[in-house]
Amino acid sequence: MENDKDYTDLIDRFFDDELSDMELEGFDSKVREDPAFAARVALEHSIRKGAAQLRSEQADQAYAAYRKKMLWQKSILALASVALLF
């Protein structure tokens, strides 16, 4: 079980670009030689990629909602300005 935690930490450090050159060589060897480890790395990659895509989609939705709100506010201000002129 301790080995699982070590592997999890190692994989996290790999994706966070925190491995030394020596650790990176060992990591690459482990991926090539251990199919189970390679599968864990691939799974973590998929999870991180999916999370990034979800964050991007949420950001796009939030920006679209913001733009819509700003459009309404500008429209109301324009109407109020016209009303004040007449």
| Mean pLDDT in residue range 57-66 | 79
Token pair recorded at residue 25: 């060589």
DSSP-derived letter for residue 20 is -
**How many domains would you assign to the chain?**
1
> Six-digit token pair at 72?
């309404």
Q: Residue 6 is inside which H or E element, if any?
A: helix 2-15
pLDDT tens-place string over residues 26-61: 999 999 999 999 999 999 999 988 888 888 888 778
Closest C-alpha to 25, from 10, 35, 44, 43: 10
Give the range of the structural domain holding residue 40, as residue numbers without chain letter: 2-85
Stretch 14-28: mean pLDDT, rounded?
96
- Between 5 and 11, the more confident residue is 11
In whole numbers, what is the pLDDT of the chain averaged over residues? Answer: 85
Could you give the C-alpha distances from 1 to 10, 14, 30, 52, 56, in angstroms and in order?
Answer: 14, 20, 18, 29, 35
